[in-house]
Amino acid sequence: MKLRDTLPRGPLGFGAAPLGNMFRNISDAEAAATVNAAWEEGTRFFDTAPFYGAGLSEIRLGEELSKHRREEYVLSTKVGRLILEETEDADSREFGEKGDIFKYGRANKIAYDYTADGTHKSIEDSLKRMNVDRIDFVWVHDVAQDFYGDDWISIFDIARKGAFVALSRLRDQGVIKGWGLGVNKVQPVEMLFDLSEVQPDATLLAGRYSLLDHELALQRLMPAAAARGIDIVVGGPYSSGVLAGGAHFEYGKVPQDIADKVEKIKALCARHHVPIKAAALQFSLAHPASAAVIPGASKPERIKEDHAAIKAAIPADFWRELREQRLVSQVAPLPIDQR
């Protein structure tokens, strides 16, 4: 099933990673207020994962969504990591290139399991944490170099024989609507597309189709997704926050060349009276393969900004100058190309 056809209120979704205390410790009340703000603004697509705060994001999201009828929204989560009852020192955990991104999350140990049995167990646990009877889309999480280094291909192979097959069966049985990868890298998605034994329905690609980073995805992944009818959910449209006034790029310190590019984009936005969030969201959605975009938020006011941004009228001259100044790839589809 095409993901874009399941979205009742359009392509703007909610990325729930911040609810897992990503980078900072937020209160239950602040998390609840953020989810409620998303609902009130019309968000009906929510994405989370066991990894986000060792189950904290799922628990918080499920608590608020339980106030609404299940058929009113689309829910996705991820497999590949099991959250154990055993605890550990959360401050000592590091996650590949992402460092201590969730050091403020729950202290439960995280076990990696991309087998078929692990996939079923992960889904069962997620259903319990969120107190829901079904999950719509399931992403196989982080089978990529940023978490597993040179071992990532062997991890991918385990998922190919385990998680991919299990999720295909669950889809064919009607238990879930679809599946794909949930990754921050282009290469695993290209490998998935090349497989003949399984066929994904969609894929969550974080950070690789933003204003600041899209050229690699444009070479093969995005055209292949469009040609095959595989929907792309764009995660991280603000590049870990730097495009929304934050201090992170790729979950770390902002490199100088990125900071310089952000300033040029900001200057162009100011000249045309365009909110930079609007430029970021509308760029990510302009590609035919893009079915949804899921910026993360942990403050209610950010949700309102996102909804205003996706509806903002952006003059054609802004997009023309963005391309002329080579601030985006010359072959990147822009909203003006659709007019």
Kindly list the catalytic residues: 47, 52, 78
* Residue 20: both structure tokens together: 């897992």
* Start-to-end CA span in the chain (Å): 28
Nearest residue to 180 via CA among 271, 96, 191: 191
Tokens 């359009």 found at: 10
Backbone angles phi, psi at 289, to 5 degrees: -80, -20
Q: Are 51 and 90 in contact (CB under 8 A)?
A: no
Q: Are 138 and 167 in contact (CB under 8 A)?
A: yes
Tokens 């999350």 found at: 105
- List the Cα angle 240/249/60 in 5-degree steps: 25
Assign 234 to helix, strand or coil: strand
Distance, CA of 230 to CA of 252 (rounded, Å):
30
Tokens 């997620």 found at: 126
